[in-house]
Structure 1
């Protein structure tokens, strides 16, 4: 019985291996990969140090591998540690260094006031895209891709892509600056929200999506105004210029009438002062000439008749109410009323 179980298991694994090989047996290594890598190495774009060392060629399995791999333990000339050692080809390593210098570090200083000290990233792995068996080979299979899971700042604070993408305002701003900076350098950038496979990391690679290598994929589409320029310098905050203050318009004089100081009388009931009688008789004065003064004779005042002062009646003596008792009966009734 054990022999039957062992034989069945061996056949199952062998069949699965054949199936996987059959799905990828027609995939070939594109010529542009070796050409791009050779051109990058010819320009000496990678500076070898104790943190960046060249290793022997990786050939296989299948078409996986690279002509001149580099084993990297630190980036930024040794200033940024890598949580785990990565293996990259010349083109991807060159762009990763530029991305770190032009976007990642300026964004960290802008949003947190300190640089990034460590990056948790993954690189070379001969596998299908999204770790799906039988799928087209991932750019990780050629040392042409990088997965970023988290950033650690100089004070030890860790910004994870999974939590920070919807985290604090500073974390969101920092990761979106990093994301847009990657879109300017890499041909493929996938962040949380692009698909179900990239919910916890940012994937960047230099794949060719068309024969000329001009098409780019940058997902997801986000609404965000970057605060960093293309050179990594923070942009000046554009503040609207306040309008110039204009002088206040002249105000009409306040009409305060002596006969109505509190404005009780309606304006329609107020009549303009009448001109003198002489002016009404002779008409208005001609324009440009002043009217001659008019002399008025004082009218004689009639004597005021004074009425005699009223005479005050003499005070009457108080009545003696005790002389006659008050009757408690009404007229015509013999019994008193209570």
Structure 2
């Protein structure tokens, strides 16, 4: 075989290997379209009235993003509990997350704020909702639940008495702030399948990450840190 022939064969082999490895990588970045439970969960939530269309919850067109990312029935949410808790910036999430967040505020956050501060939460800082990326934006990591509108990051709570409790400073702050944030965190663990706060890892030093990932086949396993 001539030198040019050997070079051509080498190029073809490299190309074939890249194709194989690329295919494996793409399969590891599972798509929203390939996981039937995602569409089922969204459709069931929409069908059972998991949200009410209002000035604070607006239905959007399907998001069919690049690669693995997308949402079947996305919602643009500017406030929880029909606007009683305003969002610092509108969040793009799916219906199950919208319903779970409402439940969290109603059953956990507001009762904790009333008991500890004698006030109620009027606004929260939304640090992230839908975003097409890997977990913690790390190269070659698994796809984040943010990529499916199945996650929300909360950084701070503003109360009716004017105070603001941040996750970053309140987690190890005053006794009241510590009690409130820990109750909000532990209560979230009963409603979401993934909850990560400042004690979870360095990436979450300043916010709570909440999502509804299905960690096992029946979705019964909860990850709470």
TM-score of the two chains, using structure 2 as the length reference:
0.86
Match of 1:25 in 2: 26
Aligned counterparts of 1:151 and 1:40: Cα–Cα separation in 2: 27
* 2:172 pairs with 1:166: yes
2:50–2:98: 8 Å Cα contact kept in structure 1?
no
Q: Which has the larger radius of gyration?
A: 1
1:182 CA displacement = 0.2
Residue of structure 1 aligned with 2:53, choices 48, 55, 64: 48
Residue of structure 2 aligned with 1:60, choices 58, 61, 65: 65
Residue of structure 2 aligned with 1:36, choices 33, 41, 44: 41
1:37–1:91: 8 Å Cα contact kept in structure 2?
yes
1:45–1:90: 8 Å Cα contact kept in structure 2?
yes
Match of 1:76 in 2: 81
Residue by residue over 1:210-260, the C-alpha shift from the partner in whole angstroms, topping out at 9 and shown as x without a partner, is 1111111111xxxxxxxxxxxxxxxxxxxxxxxxxxxxxxxxxxxxxxxxx
1:35 CA displacement = 1.2
Match of 1:179 in 2: 185
More strand by share: 2
TM-score of the two chains, using structure 1 as the length reference:
0.58
More helix by share: 2
1:24–1:136: 8 Å Cα contact kept in structure 2?
no
SS of 2:82's partner is coil
Aligned counterparts of 1:179 and 1:157: Cα–Cα separation in 2: 19
Greater RCO (Cα-Cα under 8 Å, separation 6 or more): 2
Residue of structure 2 aligned with 1:95, choices 94, 100, 104: 100
SS of 1:159's partner is strand
Unaligned runs of 5+ in 2: 1-17
Unaligned runs of 5+ in 1: 1-17, 220-338
Total equivalences in the alignment: 201
SS of 1:77's partner is helix
SS of 2:142's partner is coil
1:195 CA displacement = 1.1
Aligned counterparts of 2:57 and 2:122: Cα–Cα separation in 1: 17
Match of 1:336 in 2: none
SS of 1:50's partner is coil
